[in-house]
A and B are shown apart, each in its own frame.
Chain A
Amino acid sequence: MFRAIIRARPVKQFVECRAAYSTPESIIDFVDSVAETSESQNKSFASLLRHSKFMQLGDFNGRLVVGKIAQRIQDDLYIDFGLKFNAVCKAPSVGSESYRSGARVLIRLLDPELSERFLGSNKDLTLLEADAVLVRLLSNTNIARKPKVPAEKEADKPEIPAE
């Protein structure tokens, strides 16, 4: 039933893709590039997925990604970073005012979906939100975009899953 994506691809492509995102920028611009229009009008789904940032991200745990605050309800920030669910983080007490909807923030992604299996159930229970830690503010709404932000962790060294 399941097709193992990873196993189906030749190893050579992994090397290519590693070269493609070796700069920290490519990870930083994650959200923007997902939203941008590409020329790939008639590309197949397989190739689209293959070259998506989602695949290039590798292991999610501890990855630094850029997100946009979609909504702020009191002190809870709902950060859209390009995957299925928004990450929910608390706004820090220092400079809380600048974390408004539309602002770009840097977050450390832990889990794209918080789900847990409880005793007695045969399915996971999902919270419908991503787990992430807010790192810092990148830019406010009015400022278009900051050119370059050095990533703090080894964002340029994604792990390749073992075959």
Chain B
Amino acid sequence: MSRVILRNFIRNFSSASATVPRTATTTVTQPDSTTLQKATVQPTVLKPYVSKSLQNEQDLFGFEKAVHIDEMFKARLHFGHKIGTVHENMKWALYGERLGVCIFDLETTKKYLVRALNFIAHVSMRGGMILFVTSNRDSMFDVEKAAEEVNQYSHVRKWQSGTLTNTRQLLGASVRLPDTIVFMSTLTSLGESHPAIVEATKMAIPTIGIVDSNSDPAYLTYLIPANDDTPNSTEYLLRLFKMAVKKGQEERKRQQQQEPGK
């Protein structure tokens, strides 16, 4: 999975990373196609080709400080569903259960949330397109508004199958696909995984998903184990996502202003 993402990352962004200041020492900016097509290639092999800001592991945008456990707690991020609905693959993120109600470990959630925010900010810094998807009827207007505010995309309605895989037929022309998809809720009203998850995987688009205790985390790249039903929780997460996108966009603007003078 991670290899696919990394390759995708290179495909999408190494070219666009002209805006990112490059070191004078690196002369080769793209791996040759044989390396990329090799099935055995490890992410570590491709690391030197990735832009410099990605190579040092540190928290470039300082999300570690922006995310507080008590805020998450107040936004009710820790409430899961009843224990009877728990998905086998979500148990790792749970702190435990309280009288039949699952409780997420917010320390774990924070770790994953920061990782996801970092990813969003990096994508946004490279001029990526982010698509916000939800199937929750209560929060759909909030999601649409948030996406519009940061000049990104949203899809809160019925998912037409083939929206990502069959754009030629549906739109009459092939278009640029989103670079990241953020799922504010991964389950449809029928309790199945959102059809866009599989489509995104087919098109090698990295996904970020807020997974509740009853969601299936399969095929999602970046998981955020948290409550996806309560409006407070969605609002809080949307605020953070918006912040991450904005930070990336500001950084991008700053770099673009610097570059011509170089």
Contacts and interface: CB of A to CB of B under 8 A. Distances in A.
Interface string B63-84: 0000011100110101111101
A30 interface: no
Contacts of A54: 98
A117 B86 CA distance: 12
Contacts, number: 88
B109 to A, nearest CB: 9
Interface stretch (A11-19, A95-103, A123-131): A123-131
A43 interface: yes
A24 B84 CA distance: 32
Given A5-B95, A45-B95, A117 B84 contact: yes
Given A84-B229, A113-B81, A113-B82, A48 B69 contact: yes
B98 A126 contact: no
Given A3-B95, A5-B98, A41 B82 contact: no
A142 interface: no
Interface in B48-107: 68-70, 73-74, 76, 78-82, 84-85, 91-92, 94-99, 101, 103, 105-107
B256 interface: no
A44 B99 CA distance: 22
A59 interface: yes
Contacts of B95: 3, 5, 45-46, 49
Nearest to A71: B138
Given A2-B97, A3-B95, A123-B85, A45 B78 contact: yes
Interface string A44-87: 11101100101100111000000000100000000000111100
A34 interface: yes
Contacts of A1: 91-92, 94
B73 A45 contact: yes
Contacts of A55: 98
Contacts of B80: 84
A2 B94 contact: yes
How many residues of B sit at the interface, in one of the four size bands? Answer: 20 to 34
A52 B99 CA distance: 15
Given A45-B95, A55-B98, A84 B85 contact: no
A37 B71 CA distance: 9
A124 B85 contact: yes
B15 interface: no
Contacts of B105: 45
A4 interface: yes
A1 B91 CA distance: 7
A93 interface: no
10 contacts: A5-B98, A40-B70, A45-B106, A49-B73, A49-B78, A59-B99, A125-B191, A126-B82, A128-B229, A161-B99
Given A2-B94, A124-B85, 12 more contacts: A1-B92, A41-B68, A45-B73, A45-B106, A45-B107, A52-B73, A83-B76, A84-B76, A84-B79, A112-B82, A113-B101, A126-B85
Interface of A: 1-6, 34-35, 37-38, 40-41, 43-46, 48-49, 52, 54-55, 58-60, 70, 82-85, 112-113, 115, 117, 123-126, 128, 161
Closest 7 CB pairs of A and B: A124-B84, A84-B79, A45-B106, A124-B85, A3-B96, A5-B96, A115-B82
Interface of B: 68-70, 73-74, 76, 78-82, 84-85, 91-92, 94-99, 101, 103, 105-107, 191, 214, 227, 229-231
